[in-house]
Each structure stands twice: as structure tokens, then as C-alpha cells.
């Protein structure tokens, strides 16, 4: 069957399609019904089934006689180490950690925050939670204590599992002070913390609260897998929204297993036993879906890569890993390829490695610019597949399904809608638009299994953020169009979310931080074009009356403040002082217009602008720091 047959078979009977896909999952009790529409527009999938995610990701492969296959490769150029863990070893490690957690009272439904870098223990911790039916919430290491505290207060974890440190090129990132700071700041206090000591930084443990990763597990009896309902939350992953409060995206267990397993062959074209590599971080959705769960559920070998595309030690690192471990499908963000291209423009380092195992490169997380795609195609000589998805969906909304049919690549498009997704381009009133017309991208409800059923403890926010603007649809927050062949084009966000080096960030969150600076009366943060990172945040500050300290000093403090409050990952490096901000007559700041000015793009003067003269002042301010050069 080609792509259109598969897509049509889904469309003709979505429930039968997903029930058939569910056959590839081991159920403790097979679901009788795929979709539960009783609480529409809140839908759930496979909720009468009983299942365990860890069993499907680990134990079942051991039971099937594949215990000796390598499940996970930890390739860590930043520490100069390489470890391989078989499925049997992974099962033992996960079962023991789960046993120790259970002995300390962690049960089905309890939340556990995981704050760890790219070490195998992070995956072991995720799977141990899944084994018990506990709900994990992994927090990316590049976030500051304050962000961790916000997540602690929102999901109220019984335990936190953290590493002593992470390693960024040139510096050791100390996790313990961040963890301690976050727990001090948070109202909710976890009952205990499990600390994985790394040799790069051994930290003192807090009496009565912290336990050592190894000591705590010593003598623990391995735990069995706890069956959970298909709709039971597997994890909560916080992502940026319009405001400073992150959204806790919930992933339900059953649909997650079914959908991810389906994508491994149909989208990424890998067979069980083959090596799949997503060079991302466990703190992001790509890490959840395609470093941890997807490849393991499908019986692939996954790679936990602790390094960067460049500088660890050179821009040939990706190619070295692909050659060393015979990677068949490789997934990363366009930014990472841009970073490699910048340092090795001719791709000469490719020549040092045997990349014959590699069959495709997949890109997602941000817009893939044509230059990057063409360059990667040229130097790697494999299809370069852009695909579009979000933390909320957990797997691709649009892709070129390499295991179904290798469709022609149209550069600039992540290709076509995947089964499960009826994608529509809508105008402001919610009417479908014609091919080629730009509008809001929405997905007809119900969303497929594996996508978010809700936000953690925030149903109203879920309804308002996604389901209200276009009744009957999920609002993606992206704008774009579709062509006559059904290929999608993702052009921009419709909200205040920006994408910096493939990391999704909220300008609203940064504005909240800047507004707390005593000298800042009002501010706006915009995402301006950046050659390497796609977008970079830039702050425009109006100072309070009477403040006459040097502007550079205040801007510098603002940069420090964002790093302290949100974290280095925000990459907030620039701010400029302005007298006024352009607004509509109703007081809405015209951020998109300022972005256009900064990036030298043509724009239409907004009809509702209060005072057009302000735009000239903004242009001058932006020019003073190297933007809007015209």
C-alpha cells in the first residue's frame, strides 16, 4: 500500500486503523474500544485496555529472546566514554530501580520529576517510573532553578531523581544547587530525592532528603510491571505557552505506545534490531518519543548521545557516531546541521567515515531552511526529510512516510499529513481556505492516539489554548498553507512562542522576567532571525521614569536575570532601551511588526496602529544594536 492507500484506510475507519496498529503492542487486557468520545471534545484512546509501557519497551524483547541485543548506546564525547546496555541489562536495571522506588512508597499515579543530562540513568529512571505506573516529568537541564520550582509546584512530585551534574562543552553544569534552590523555592516538597553522582562532580547529600542512586537500590527486590489503563498518564512534559506558566502536556500510555510503534517503521523506516538515533535531549519531546520510548518499544537500538554537533570534539561528531554504531535513521534539528555546516562548509569530514548504514536524515523542531536541506542532501547523499510535529502531538503531524512510500521531497515542506491527522488551513472565522492560501493550521478532532488528551490539572487552559478558537478542531498555533498535492508549508507561529535552536521558548515568560527588573516599566520580547539558531530572543525595554543609569548596565542586568530565572537555554543575550513600544489602539504590542523591522522584511502598516511614528524610533533602536540594517 502506498501513502494515499494508508491515509485513506485510516480516514475510512480511524478506529479500525488504530485497533490494527494496537495489535503490535502487548496488552495485559486488550482494549475492546479504540476511541472514547463520551466527554468530547475531550477524547481518550484505548481506555478499557490494560498495559504497561516498560513491559513493551523492555521486558517483551527479553521474553522474545532478544535480551542480548543492545538496547541503548551511551556515546559521550564530553566525558570520553562509551557504554552499551543490552535489553536484558536494561530490564534488570529498570526493575531494580523500580523496586527501590516502590520500597520508598512510589506507586501508580505518583509523580516523579527527573532532572538529568544525557546519561543512560535518565532512560532507566523514565522506564522505572513507567514500570510502576508512576508519572514522570523530565525537566531539561538547561532550565534554571525557578523553572524547576514551577514544575515541582505544578505536578507535586513524590520524588525527584537528579544527577549531580551535566556537562556542557567547557563547563560542568552543577545540578545540585539548582535542585536545592528549586526545592527551597517551591511550596511543594518532594518526600525524597535520588541523586546519581557523576565522577565529574560528586555532591554532598542532604540528610533525611537525599539518597544515593546506588546505595538506595542496593538489595532492592526487582519490581514487576504494574498494568495501567490505556488512558493512564505515562508522563507530563512541560512546554512553553504564551504566558510564563508552562503547559503540562499529558501523554496517555496506550495511545503513546501504539502511535510511536507505528511511526518507527512507517515514518522512520527501521526494523526491530536496527539502530535509530535522535540527537536531541531527554528533556524535550523528541527525547521522550525517539530517544526513549519509540525505538525501545519497537525493539531498535537507541543512542543516548551526550555531546553537541560541533566542538565535541569537531563537526564530524555526528558522522563518527553514525559510522561507529551503524545508524540507519538519524533525527536532529536543522540548527544542529547549520552548526555543522558553519564549521565544515564543504562537509569534508563526512569523507572520514563510512556512512553506508545511513538511509535517511530526519529534521524537526523548527523550520528547515532550503539551504540546510540541500547542503545535507549533497554531503550525505540520502533523503533529507523535514517533518512537523509538536510536544502536544508526540509524533509527526506531517511527514514523508519513508517506510510506507518515499514520496517526492518538496523542499520547504514537511510533506503530507500522517494518518490520524486531518489538517485544515482555516481563516480567522474558521472557514477552510484554498490551496496556496495562508491561514491558521488546525486539526480536525479527535486527535489520534499518542497526542495530548489534556493539560495536567489545567483542563480550562487546555480547552482555551487549543479547542476554543476553532470549534471541532485542535488549534496548532502554527500558520501555513497546503498546496494542490496536499503538501503542507509551516510558515510561522500565531502566538508568542519562539523557536531558538530547536528549543521552544515563550517570549511571554521572558517578558515576565524583564518586567520584574526594578528599572523596567514596560517591555516586549521578540524572536529575530538568527543564522544559526533560526530565531534569537531580543528584549525592548522602556525604563521607569527618573531612571538615568547607563542603558548598557540595565540591559546587561536583564540578560543576567533571564539566565538566572529561565536558564541558559533561553539564549537571551540582547536588549535595547526604547522610549515607546508600537501598539494597536486597544493596547496590544505589535511584536510581529517589530520582528519584520528587525529582520528587514516588508510589512503592511497595521491598520489599527496607534502611532506609526513609533516604528521609526524602533527601527533606529534596532539599528543601534545591529538589526534592521535595510
Question: Could you say which residues in the range 36-75 bind ligand COA, by CB under 6 A?
Answer: none
Question: Of these, 318, 388, 456, 572, which contacts ligand AMP (CB under 6 A)?
Answer: 388
Question: Could you say which residues in the range 568-587 bind ligand COA, by CB under 6 A?
Answer: 568-569, 571
* Measured distance between the N- and C-terminal CA atoms of the chain, rounded to whole angstroms: 51
How far is the C-alpha of 134 from the C-alpha of 148, rounded, in Å?
A: 19
Bond into 466 cis (ω within 30): no
- State the minimum distance, in angstroms, from the CB of residue 564 to ligand COA: 12
- State the minimum distance, in angstroms, from the CB of residue 215 to ligand AMP: 36
Question: Of these, 154, 366, 496, 511, which contacts ligand AMP (CB under 6 A)?
Answer: 366
DSSP secondary structure string, 137-202? EE--TTS-HHHHHHHHHHH--SEEEEESEEEETTEEEEHHHHHHHHHHH-SS--SEEEEE-BTTB-
Sign of the torsion formed by the C-alpha atoms of 188, 281, 224 and 456: positive
Cell of 331: 533525527
How far is the C-alpha of 276 from the C-alpha of 177, rounded, in Å?
A: 35
Question: Of these, 55, 284, 389, 462, which contacts ligand COA (CB under 6 A)?
Answer: 284
- State the minimum distance, in angstroms, from the CB of residue 237 to ligand AMP: 9
Cell of 137: 516529568
The entry of ligand COA, ligand AMP, none near residue 524 (CB within 5 to 8 angstroms by kind) is none
How far is the C-alpha of 126 from the C-alpha of 87, rounded, in Å?
A: 15
Q: Does residue number 295 form part of the binding site for ligand COA (CB under 6 A)?
A: no
Question: Of these, 240, 263, 280, 535, which contacts ligand COA (CB under 6 A)?
Answer: 280
- State the minimum distance, in angstroms, from the CB of residue 370 to ligand AMP: 12
The CA-CA-CA angle for residues 111, 112, 116, to 5°, reads: 150
Question: Of these, 146, 499, 506, 535, which contacts ligand AMP (CB under 6 A)?
Answer: 499
- State the minimum distance, in angstroms, from the CB of residue 287 to ligand COA: 8
Contacts of 445 (CB under 8 A, 6+ apart): 40, 41, 43, 467, 472, 473, 474
Largest CA distance in the chain: 74
- State the minimum distance, in angstroms, from the CB of residue 497 to ligand AMP: 7
* Strand (E) or helix (H) holding 342: helix 334-343
HSE, side-chain direction, 13 A CA sphere, residue 332: 25
Question: Of these, 31, 49, 99, 142, which contacts ligand COA (CB under 6 A)?
Answer: 142
Question: Of these, 365, 419, 539, 582, which contacts ligand AMP (CB under 6 A)?
Answer: 365
Q: Does residue number 315 form part of the binding site for ligand COA (CB under 6 A)?
A: no
Interface size with ligand AMP, residues (CB under 6 A): 20
Q: Does residue number 401 form part of the binding site for ligand COA (CB under 6 A)?
A: no
| Contact criterion met (CB below 8 Å) for 545 and 521 | yes
Interface size with ligand COA, residues (CB under 6 A): 28
How far is the C-alpha of 306 from the C-alpha of 315, rounded, in Å?
A: 14
How far is the C-alpha of 20 from the C-alpha of 179, rounded, in Å?
A: 44
Question: Of these, 477, 537, 539, 567, which contacts ligand AMP (CB under 6 A)?
Answer: 477
Q: Does residue number 286 form part of the binding site for ligand COA (CB under 6 A)?
A: yes
Cell of 462: 487546555
- State the minimum distance, in angstroms, from the CB of residue 68 to ligand COA: 31
> For the window 275-294, what string marks contact with ligand AMP as x by the rule CB under 6 A?
----------x---------
The entry of ligand COA, ligand AMP, none near residue 501 (CB within 5 to 8 angstroms by kind) is ligand COA
- Applying CB under 6 A, which part among 49-57, 327-335, 347-355, 603-611 lies near ligand COA? 327-335
Q: Does residue number 506 form part of the binding site for ligand AMP (CB under 6 A)?
A: no
517591555: which residue's cell?
523
- Applying CB under 6 A, which part among 32-40, 199-207, 360-368, 565-573 lies near ligand AMP? 360-368
> For the window 170-209, what string marks contact with ligand COA as x by the rule CB under 6 A?
---x------------------------------------
Q: Does residue number 136 form part of the binding site for ligand AMP (CB under 6 A)?
A: no
Q: Does residue number 294 form part of the binding site for ligand COA (CB under 6 A)?
A: no
Q: Does residue number 99 form part of the binding site for ligand COA (CB under 6 A)?
A: no
Q: Does residue number 450 form part of the binding site for ligand AMP (CB under 6 A)?
A: no
DSSP secondary structure string, 426-452? E-TTSPBPPTT--EEEEEESSPPTTS-
- Applying CB under 6 A, which part among 86-94, 274-282, 425-433, 593-601 lies near ligand COA? 274-282
Question: Of these, 86, 289, 300, 335, which contacts ligand COA (CB under 6 A)?
Answer: 335
Integer-rounded Cα Rg, in Å, for the chain is 24
Phi–psi pair at 405, nearest 5 degrees: -160, 130
Distances (CA, A) of 4 to 1, 11, 405: 8, 10, 9
Q: Among 60, 88, 421, which residue's Cα sits nearest to residue 257? A: 60
Q: Does residue number 336 form part of the binding site for ligand COA (CB under 6 A)?
A: yes
How far is the C-alpha of 525 from the C-alpha of 606, rounded, in Å?
A: 19
| Contact criterion met (CB below 8 Å) for 301 and 276 | yes
| Residues within the interface to ligand AMP (CB under 6 A) | 239, 285, 364-368, 386-391, 414, 477-478, 490, 493, 499, 504
| Residues within the interface to ligand COA (CB under 6 A) | 117, 141-142, 166, 168, 173, 279-281, 284, 286, 308-310, 332-333, 335-336, 339, 364-365, 501-503, 532, 568-569, 571
Amino acid at each position: 500500500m502506498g501513502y494515499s492507500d494508508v491515509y485513506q484506510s485510516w480516514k475510512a475507519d480511524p478506529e479500525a486503523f488504530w485497533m490494527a496498529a494496537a495489535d503490535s503492542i502487548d496488552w495485559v487486557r486488550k482494549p475492546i474500544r479504540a476511541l472514547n468520545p463520551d466527554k468530547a471534545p475531550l477524547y481518550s484512546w484505548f481506555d478499557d485496555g490494560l498495559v504497561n509501557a516498560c513491559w513493551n519497551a523492555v521486558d517483551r524483547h527479553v521474553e522474545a529472546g532478544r535480551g542480548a541485543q543492545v538496547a541503548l548506546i551511551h556515546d559521550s564525547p564530553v566525558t570520553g566514554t562509551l557504554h552499551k546496555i543490552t535489553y536484558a541489562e536494561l530490564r534488570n536495571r529498570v526493575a531494580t530501580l523500580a523496586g527501590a522506588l516502590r520500597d520508598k512508597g512510589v506507586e501508580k499515579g505518583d509523580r516523579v520529576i527527573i532532572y538529568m543530562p544525557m546519561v543512560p540513568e535518565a532512560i532507566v529512571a523514565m522506564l522505572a517510573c513507567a514500570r510502576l505506573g508512576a508519572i514522570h516529568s523530565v525537566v531539561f537541564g538547561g532550565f534554571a532553578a525557578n523553572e524547576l520550582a514551577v514544575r515541582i509546584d505544578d505536578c507535586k512530585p513524590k520524588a525527584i531523581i537528579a544527577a549531580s551534574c551535566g556537562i556542557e562543552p567547557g563547563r560542568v553544569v552543577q545540578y545540585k544547587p539548582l535542585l536545592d534552590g528549586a526545592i527551597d523555592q517551591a511550596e511543594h516538597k518532594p518526600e525524597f530525592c535520588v541523586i546519581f553522582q557523576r565522577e565529574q562532580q560528586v555532591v554532598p547529600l542532604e540528610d533525611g532528603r537525599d539518597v544515593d542512586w546506588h546505595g538506595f537500590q542496593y538489595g532492592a527486590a526487582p519490581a514487576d510491571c504494574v498494568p495501567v489503563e490505556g488512558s493512564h498518564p505515562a508522563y507530563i512534559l512541560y512546554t512553553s505557552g504564551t504566558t510564563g506558566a508552562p503547559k503540562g502536556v499529558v501523554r496517555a500510555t496506550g495511545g503513546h505506545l501504539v502511535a510511536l510503534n507505528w511511526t518507527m517503521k512507517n515514518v522512520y523506516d527501521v526494523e526491530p534490531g536496527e539502530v535509530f538515533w535522535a540527537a536531541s535531549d531527554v528533556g524535550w519531546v523528541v527525547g521522550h518519543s525517539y530517544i526513549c520510548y519509540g525505538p525501545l518499544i519497537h525493539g531498535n537500538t537507541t543512542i543516548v548521545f551526550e555531546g553537541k554537533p560541533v566542538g565535541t570534539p569537531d563537526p564530524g561528531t555526528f558522522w563518527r557516531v553514525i559510522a561507529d554504531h551503524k545508524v540507519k535513521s538519524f533525527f536532529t534539528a536543522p540548527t544542529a546541521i547549520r552548526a555543522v555546516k558553519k564549521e565544515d562548509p564543504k562537509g569534508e569530514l563526512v569523507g572520514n567515515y563510512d556512512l553506508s548504514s545511513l538511509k535517511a536524515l530526519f529534521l524537526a523542531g523548527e523550520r528547515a531552511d532550503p539551504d540546510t536541506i540541500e547542503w545535507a542532501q549533497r554531503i550525505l547523499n540520502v533523503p533529507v526529510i523535514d517533518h512537523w510535529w509538536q510536544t502536544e502531538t508526540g509524533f509527526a503531524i506531517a511527514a514523508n512516510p519513508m517506510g510506507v512510500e518515499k514520496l517526492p521531497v518538496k523542499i520547504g515542506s514537511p510533506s503530507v499529513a500522517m494518518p490520524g491527522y486531518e489538517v485544515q488551513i482555516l481563516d480567522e472565522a474558521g472557514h477552510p481556505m484554498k490551496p496556496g492560501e495562508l491561514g491558521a493550521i488546525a486539526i480536525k478532532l479527535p486527535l489520534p492516539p499518542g497526542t495530548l488528551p489534556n493539560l495536567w490539572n489545567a483542563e480550562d487552559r487546555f480547552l482555551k489554548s487549543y479547542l476554543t478558537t476553532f470549534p471541532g478542531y485542535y488549534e496548532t498555533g502554527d500558520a501555513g498553507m497546503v498546496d494542490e498535492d496536499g503538501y503542507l508549508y509551516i510558515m510561522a507561529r500565531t502566538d508568542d512562542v519562539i523557536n531558538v535552536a530547536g528549543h521552544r521558548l515563550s517570549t511571554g515568560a521572558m517578558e515576565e522576567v524583564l518586567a520584574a527588573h526594578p528599572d523596567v516599566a514596560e517591555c516586549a520580547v521578540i524572536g529575530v532571525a538568527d543564522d544559526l539558531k533560526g530565531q534569537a530572543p531580543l528584549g525592548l525595554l522602556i525604563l521607569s521614569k527618573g531612571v538615568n543609569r547607563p542603558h548598557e548596565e540595565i540591559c546587561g542586568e536583564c540578560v543576567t536575570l533571564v539566565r538566572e530565572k529561565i536558564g541558559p537555554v533561553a539564549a537571551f543575550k540582547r536588549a535595547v532601551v526604547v522610549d515607546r513600544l508600537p501598539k494597536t489602539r486597544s493596547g496590544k504590542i505589535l511584536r510581529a511588526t517589530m520582528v519584520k523591522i528587525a529582520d528587514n522584511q516588508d510589512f503592511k502598516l497595521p491598520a489599527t496602529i496607534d502611532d506609526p511614528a513609533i516604528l521609526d524610533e524602533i527601527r533606529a533602536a534596532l539599528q543601534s544594536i545591529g538589526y534592521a540594517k535595510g
